[in-house]
Chain A
Amino acid sequence: MAELQKIKEAIMGGKREEVSRLVQAALTAGDSPVEILEGGMIPAMREIGDKFSRNEVYVPQMLIAARAMQAGLALVEPVLAQTGHQPLGKLCIGTVKGDLHDIGKNLVAIMLKGAGYEVVDLGVNCDINKYEEGIKQGANVVVCSALLTTTMPYMKDVVEHFKSKGVKVIIGGAPVTQNYADQIGADGYSEDANGAVKLVDRLLGKTA
């Protein structure tokens, strides 16, 4: 459908108001929210995520696309909820204790939302209690981000804490490596936001 293509392009171009207008118009016209999401919005985030992985777009373009996506989601989500549509799964995300970097974490969060997951954003400087709050809200995967070599070791504490509780923990951020993830027994690692989605898909057995 032409409108879906327009929504996709508007998201990729970071055109927040246009996204709101187009999504609202589509909903008013009676289009199914699932179709808007799966036919326009999700493909937009996948495509821009791929471009980011290939260095064809950079952090600023990702940030504005994420905002535009958020504007669209704000309209689609309530309608989805009414129709009883189930998200693919529920996750909580936060930057670890002592660490205030949130740009990467925000991108990972929006990519996951865009892919159809429900995401509880716990913000920055999260200790284990904070992640526990996410679990109490129904999340069954903890998504941990760290940008400092000094805060990265805290991920080990988080992994160990949740290991016995059957909650999966995935980790990432610039200093983190697959090696480190293996070493501390995390359930997964990926280099970028796009990879984070594929990782969660695999982990939860979804192939949305």
Chain B
Amino acid sequence: MNIIDFILRSSETQRLPVAVYPGLLLSGGTVREITSDWALQLKAIKALQARYKSPFALTAMDLSVEAENFGAKVLFSENEVPTIDGRLLTNAEDIEKIKVPSPDKGRGIVQIKTLEALAKEKKSDEFILGGLIGPYSLAGRLFGISEFMEITLLEPEAAHCLIKKAVEHQIKYAKMFKEAGADAVFMAEPAAGLLWPEGLRDFSSVYVKEIAAELEDENFKIILHNCGCTIEHLDAVLASGISFFHFGKPTDVVKAVHTVPDNIIIAGNLDPMEMFVQASVEEMKSKAEELLSQTADKRNFVLSSGCDIPPNAKLANLDAFYAAEL
């Protein structure tokens, strides 16, 4: 069974928090270690698996991997998620010139190896997900998030040219996940949420569709994460044609799940900072239960965090997330 059918046929609402870094609270180690050593990342993920018995396992959301592979400079620190420093590309000529690297070099391998190890031990009705960045956001990380938004309007051809290069890279990278045994990839497109709806469609969804056409089949699916968009962007996001969407705090997920067809999955959207780091256990439980009750009539809803949960989250809150009941 594929991940979508599994969710749609479950009698209870499934839970899929975007959580790997909190695994460090159980396994020990630092963010820096698990983003550069697959065995340590595996250990953190397995610690979470052992505690929560979730049918889903996801590799770390390290959205610097692909841009680094293109040549961007990455800032590392012990306990913060690696991030891109400065702009690798600054004009249309740079965009034209940059070559698409092969994704089998660099730290992408850490992610692939982690996934491969998880897939090897997978039981039936378990699903292994690889984390990667979406095409628009990758282009934004190479050109500068702010500057890239500007060229979508001022030099749309250059913008499309860079996104196409990102697509080429992400198709290859996602294929590596697929070959390593992934059931799905979790593709994060955070920067696209700042675009206007038609812009989101033309500069992101169209390309997600292209990636999906290359990769999706009966047993491999794409989950699209967009933590910046609002309900006004819903049609533009759906234009990607895939069946599994993951939204953040700005999106009214209750409305979204009651708007989309029943075979389209909507996941979200408990805020990582507010709910997993700062809230009390009681607040977390009641917020999760509220969301469960508002979506109780829908089988196509998955309870999740709105974005990646940081390493300083509280385990007690993650416990409460899983313990919340209708």
Contacts and interface: CB of A to CB of B under 8 A. Distances in A.
Nearest to A150: B273
A58 B278 contact: no
Interface of B: 145-146, 149-150, 152-154, 194-196, 199, 232, 273-274, 277-278
11 contacts: A14-B154, A57-B196, A58-B194, A58-B195, A59-B195, A60-B149, A60-B199, A64-B150, A103-B146, A103-B194, A148-B273
A149 B146 contact: no
A55 B232 contact: yes
Nearest to A106: B146
B252 to A, nearest CB: 14
Contacts, number: 41
A169 to B, nearest CB: 24
A154 to B, nearest CB: 15
A79 to B, nearest CB: 27
A149 B195 CA distance: 23
Given A58-B199, A102-B146, A149-B273, A64 B153 contact: yes
Interface of A: 14, 55, 57-61, 63-64, 67, 102-103, 106, 148-150, 175
Cβ-closest 9 pairs across A and B = A58-B196, A60-B149, A59-B194, A149-B273, A103-B146, A63-B150, A64-B150, A64-B153, A60-B153
A64 B146 CA distance: 10
A67 B194 contact: no
Contact of A14 (B153, B199, B232, B273): B153
A64 B273 contact: no
A4 to B, nearest CB: 24
A110 to B, nearest CB: 12
B274 A60 contact: no
Contacts of B199: 58, 60
A173 B232 CA distance: 21
Nearest to B203: A60
Contacts of A175: 273
Contacts of B153: 14, 60-61, 64
Given A60-B199, A64-B154, A149 B194 contact: no
Contacts of B145: 103
Nearest to B199: A60
A50 to B, nearest CB: 16
B274 A149 contact: yes
Contact of A60 (B152, B232, B277): B152
Nearest to A148: B273
Nearest to A107: B146
A104 to B, nearest CB: 10
Contacts of A148: 273
Nearest to A67: B150
B146 A63 contact: yes
A175 B199 CA distance: 25
